[in-house]
């Protein structure tokens, strides 16, 4: 089931009204990522306010999720001795069948209505694509009756097509997905196909060719019992034989399996067709038992289709619906609205919003951008694309709207204080705020943040040197790039001695003039977006402040930007507090024998004898969790963040400087090695950051080589980065897209409307020119008579020029049609990884919630990459 955005507070209000001291605690499953961490903090604040007991359970991956389901969730079911309750999944399980993974299916011998047994699972996840079983089924069925045998007929009251209505009464359990708007706006076709498959009777598909033209011919052919559809009461054929045949095909996502508790069927993966559920259907509802030959000739109706023709039509319809679902699952991975933003929307609906919750939402949204999680999947952020149209950046137009809403909330909850004697606040003049306004100041401010890294806690030189934006555009991995950076500082009038001291202790006049100097010289070094714009007329386009960052103070103790906090929280999750021992300890992790959902045991890396990843990563989770609320813990994590980004800069410089990047057919490939801190990148999050750094540098190189145009239709080059974990003998592999996904190339509706109007005006002008030329030619022909042939030659030349214009317009239309195609630019590494596992004997572990992350046995990396290079990795 899914909960529409307009009813986001419905379930929470029911929980608030029905909880009492003896109620079981709410179980919160949290992914190990900053956005989920911030969402967890917001939710726990709400629960504490309403005195609702709760328990937080971090989840490291699919294997850990199955273990939690087996040990914590399944025992909550009323049929297994529990008292029911609520489970909240934050960034966990949106892409898999949670009913199966968490063990909420009925046991053998139990009725379908025993599914979930009072356990209600709330799913808030930004990963896409959704698992359709969670959003269009995922509820306990009503008891089967003679007139209620299909999924639609057995749907609970208050649920229509998977959509929860206002009259829905919680309490019986089920899976509830909180919709951020995508389901209702984009999945209408998938919903119709899913529900149609669910209500279809079971019928065997032997792979025969279904030609529509042959249906009428078969109506005249007598049917045998073997070809007839099963009659009422007749035992239907099992799907077990087909399951055995399809068992060799692995799912495109781990645990993308059909629900067994409902009378529905979903495709296990795009490679595996959906199989309809065991739904009984009366013969007289489909086939007529009367014999037309016995009727009087005058009253004889048209011949009814034969049973075989009906069977073929049913198979054809089922294959069509299966194709719709298969196409959806193979679109590629992407991201939607951050879950911290969804949780803040819940708090706003409840009237609980305040500065603390707003700050958590801002940090969560900012962290999504830091990790390259966009509407094109994990990909390099498209900052500018002259080859296409002005890029919308992270999450496209939706990201712009989210940031604007957050800026509006900051203004609403933090009214500006009285300005200084000059009547202008320092940040309005472009000065980066580094201190609070007063000892009790805990407000959130908007700040014109430059694209530097940890500038308040580093020197200006180190902040610029370790900025991914400057790293790619100034090419600071080379000696020439470093000289370019030094030259920029010299032109700005900042000596190396001054810029290498702490930024907070720099000369105040230099800090005040920093923004103006950056604006003056940025265009000379391809740094047009280095600092956000400030309107000098004071209007500021209605206060939009596009590109401005968020800053919060904790009195005199600290002032940090949202990006600073996101960087620190991410570093604590990936490295841990102890940076000295992190290099030696970060590589130890393993998995249980059933840790790779959707993969056969032969393809799983056997790491059962070593320390599990959860045992290593969970303490880091709690360190990061504490740092979100404790400013002293957050400040203590700053050295960890600096240590990690120094390692990223060093490793990225080594790879680019030594040209360790291989060009394969579908992507570029590099392996992290020969670096003192290379073991840090055994964590997928740290490796992903490194891949994004390198990918952005490669994108800039391609633009320089192609005259400002990105390769691959404006999407850049996909990149695969691997890091060897010596202790476990596996490679951690990350695949990032080239960026330039659908939202980053689409303009808003108003701009599209203007473009359509301009195109229409151009077409009218061309038509008017053509009519005028024809009129002139006719007049000349009539006046000159015999010179008609010469006139025709001239007209042919004129028509040729017109045809050239129309051809160029048609090419633009084809490019636009390609970019508007659904799934354009999405990261398809997850699908490609699954395809390679299905085709080869490579020992691979797919356990991360980020499906573009896998682990490959050291000896199998070569064959794995060779097969991967033949796949399409970007839509």
pLDDT in tens, 13-44: 999 999 888 889 999 999 999 999 999 999 99
Q: Is the confidence at residue 856, as pLDDT, over 70?
A: yes
What average pLDDT does range 674-680 have in this prediction?
A: 80
How far is it, in rounded angstroms, from Cα 615 to Cα 636?
23
The C-alpha atoms of residue 360 and residue 354 are separated, in whole angstroms, by: 10
Do residues 4 and 179 touch, judged by C-beta distance below 8 A? yes
Q: pTM score, two decimals?
A: 0.80
Percent of the chain with pLDDT over 90: 38
Q: What CA–CA distance (Å, rounded) separates 154 from 141?
A: 5
**Looking at domain 2-198, does it have CATH number 3.40.50?**
yes
In which order are the strands placed within the sheet that holds 85-90?
A: 54-59, 26-31, 85-90, 119-124, 174-178, 2-3, 163-164, 159-160
65-74, 562-571, 676-685, 783-792: least confident range = 783-792
d(CA 628, CA 630): 6
Least-confidence region, from 110-119, 442-451, 520-529, 623-632: 110-119
Q: Please report which confidence band the pLDDT of residue 508 belongs to, taking 50, 70 and 90 as the band edges.
A: confident
Tell me the per-residue pLDDT of 232-257, one tens digit each, with 9 for 90 and over. Answer: 333 333 333 434 444 444 443 333 33
CA separation, residue 688 to residues 605, 645, 649, 724, 856 (Å): 21, 12, 13, 14, 16
Q: State the pLDDT at residue 592.
A: 32
Q: What per-residue confidence (pLDDT) applies to 437?
A: 87
For tokens 């049973």, the residue is 307
- pLDDT score for 211: 65
Distance, CA of 91 to CA of 850 (rounded, Å): 10
pLDDT at 666 (0 to 100) = 84
**Structure-model confidence comparison of residues 217 and 724, the more confident one:** 724
Of 754 and 457, the structure prediction assigns the larger pLDDT to 457
Q: What is the mean pLDDT of the chain?
A: 77
Tokens linked to 864: 């794995």
| pLDDT band for position 665 (cuts 50, 70, 90) | confident
Under DSSP, is residue 373 helix (H, G, I), strand (E, B) or coil? strand
pLDDT for position 249 = 42
The predicted pLDDT at position 710 comes to 57
Predicted confidence at residue 717, as pLDDT, reads 80
* Of the candidate ranges 33-42, 44-53, 757-766, the one whose mean pLDDT is the lowest: 757-766
Q: Which of 531-540, 692-701, 741-750, 817-826 has the lowest mean pLDDT?
A: 741-750
Residue 49 has pLDDT above 90, yes or no: yes
pLDDT at 547: 78
Q: Is 798 exposed, middle or buried (0-12, 13-18, 19+ CB in 10 A)?
A: middle
- Is 80 exceeded by the pLDDT of residue 438? yes
* Amino acid 542: pLDDT: 45
Lowest mean pLDDT among 287-296, 646-655, 660-669, 691-700: 287-296
Look at residue 67 and tell me whether its pLDDT is greater than 90: yes
Evaluate whether 375 touches 416 at the Cβ level (below 8 Å).
no
Query: In the predicted model, is pLDDT for residue 784 greater than 80?
Result: no
- Amino acid 674: pLDDT: 74
d(CA 340, CA 347): 11
DSSP 8-state code for residue 719: E
| pLDDT tens sequence across 585-606 | 333 333 333 333 333 333 433 4
User: What does the domain layout of the chain look like in residue ranges?
Assistant: 2-198, 335-467+525-561, 747-820
């Amino acid at each position: 089931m899914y909960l529409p955005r307009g009813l986001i507070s419905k379930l929470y209000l029911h929980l608030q009204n029905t909880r009492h001291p003896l109620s079981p605690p709410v179980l919160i499953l949290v992914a190990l990522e900053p956005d989920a961490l911030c969402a967890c903090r917001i939710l726990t604040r709400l629960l504490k306010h309403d005195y609702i007991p709760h328990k937080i359970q971090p989840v490291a991956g699919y294997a850990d999720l199955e273990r939690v389901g087996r040990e914590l969730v399944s025992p909550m079911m009323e049929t297994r001795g529990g008292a029911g309750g609520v489970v909240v999944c934050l960034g966990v399980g949106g892409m898999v069948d949670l009913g199966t993974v968490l063990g909420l299916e009925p046991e053998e011998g139990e009725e379908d209505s025993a599914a979930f047994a009072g356990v209600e699972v709330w799913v808030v996840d930004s990963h896409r694509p959704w698992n359709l079983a969670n959003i269009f089924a995922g509820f306990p069925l009503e008891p089967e009756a003679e007139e209620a045998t299909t999924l639609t007929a057995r749907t609970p009251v208050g649920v229509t097509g998977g959509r929860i209505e206002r009259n829905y009464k919680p309490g019986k359990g089920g899976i509830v997905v909180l919709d951020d708007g995508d389901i209702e706006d984009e999945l209408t076709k998938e919903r119709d196909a899913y529900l149609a498959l669910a209500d279809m009777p079971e019928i065997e598909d032997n792979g025969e060719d279904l030609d529509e033209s042959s249906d009428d011919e078969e109506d005249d052919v007598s049917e045998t019992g073997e070809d007839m559809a099963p009659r009422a009461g007749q035992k239907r054929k099992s799907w077990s034989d087909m399951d055995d045949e399809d068992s060799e095909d692995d799912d495109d996502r781990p645990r993308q399996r059909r629900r067994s508790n409902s009378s529905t069927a979903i495709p296990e993966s795009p490679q595996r067709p959906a199989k309809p559920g065991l739904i009984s259907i009366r013969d007289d509802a489909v086939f007529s038992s009367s014999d037309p030959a016995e009727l009087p000739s005058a009253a004889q109706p048209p011949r009814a289709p034969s049973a075989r023709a009906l069977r073929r039509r049913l198979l054809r319809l089922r294959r069509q619906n299966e194709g719709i679902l298969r196409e959806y699952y193979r679109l590629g991975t992407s991201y939607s609205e951050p879950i911290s933003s969804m949780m803040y929307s819940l708090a706003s609906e409840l009237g609980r919003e305040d500065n603390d919750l707003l700050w958590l939402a801002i940090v969560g949204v900012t962290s999504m951008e830091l990790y390259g999680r966009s509407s094109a999947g994990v990909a390099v952020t498209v900052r500018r694309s002259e080859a296409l149209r002005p890029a919308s950046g992270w999450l496209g137009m939706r990201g712009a709207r989210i940031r604007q809403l957050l800026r509006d909330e900051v203004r609403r909850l933090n009214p500006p204080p009285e300005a200084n004697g000059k009547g202008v606040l320092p940040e309005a003049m472009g000065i980066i705020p580094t201190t609070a306004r007063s000892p009790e100041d805990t407000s959130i401010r908007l700040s014109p943040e430059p694209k530097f890294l940890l500038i308040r806690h580093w020197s200006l030189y180190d902040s610029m040197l370790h900025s991914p934006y400057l790293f790619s555009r100034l090419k600071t991995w080379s000696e020439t790039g470093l000289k370019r950076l030094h030259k920029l500082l010299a032109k700005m009038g900042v000596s190396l001695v001054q810029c290498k001291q702490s930024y907070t202790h720099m000369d105040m006049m230099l800090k005040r003039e920093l923004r103006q100097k950056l604006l003056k010289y940025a265009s000379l070094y391809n740094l047009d977006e280095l600092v956000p714009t400030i309107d000098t007329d004071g209007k500021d386009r209605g206060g939009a402040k596009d590109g401005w960052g968020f800053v919060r103070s904790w009195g005199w103790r600290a002032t940090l930007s949202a990006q600073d906090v996101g960087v620190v929280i991410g570093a604590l999750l990936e490295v841990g507090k102890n940076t000295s021992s992190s290099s030696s300890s970060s590589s130890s992790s393993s998995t249980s024998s059933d840790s790779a959902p959707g993969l056969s045991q032969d393809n799983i890396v056997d790491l059962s004898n070593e320390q599990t990843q959860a045992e290593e990563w969970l303490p880091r989770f709690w360190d990061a969790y504490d740092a979100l609320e404790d400013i002293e813990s957050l400040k203590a994590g700053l050295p960890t963040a600096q240590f990690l980004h120094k390692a990223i800069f060093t490793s990225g410089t080594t790879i680019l400087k030594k040209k360790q990047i291989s060009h394969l057919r579908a992507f570029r490939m590099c392996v992290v090695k020969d670096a003192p801190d290379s073991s840090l990148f055994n964590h997928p999050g740290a490796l992903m950051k490194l891949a994004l750094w390198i990918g952005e540098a490669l994108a800039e190189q391609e633009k320089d080589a192609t005259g400002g145009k990105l390769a691959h239709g404006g999407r850049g080059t996909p990149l695969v980065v691997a890091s060897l974990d010596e202790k476990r003998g596996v490679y951690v592999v990350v695949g990032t897209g080239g960026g330039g996904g659908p939202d980053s190339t689409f303009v808003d509706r108003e701009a599209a409307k203007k473009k359509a109007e301009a195109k229409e005006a151009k077409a009218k002008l061309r038509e008017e020119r053509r009519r005028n030329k024809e009129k002139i030619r006719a007049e000349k022909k009539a006046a000159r008579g015999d010179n008609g042939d010469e006139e025709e030659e001239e007209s042919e030349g004129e028509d040729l020029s017109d045809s050239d214009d129309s051809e160029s317009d048609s090419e633009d239309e084809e490019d636009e049609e390609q970019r508007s195609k659904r799934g354009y630019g999405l990261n398809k590494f997850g699908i490609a990884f699954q395809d390679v596992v299905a085709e080869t004997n490579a020992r691979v572990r797919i356990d991360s919630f980020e499906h573009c992350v896998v682990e490959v046995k050291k000896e199998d990396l070569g064959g794995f990459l060779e097969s991967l290079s033949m796949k399409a990795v970007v839509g």
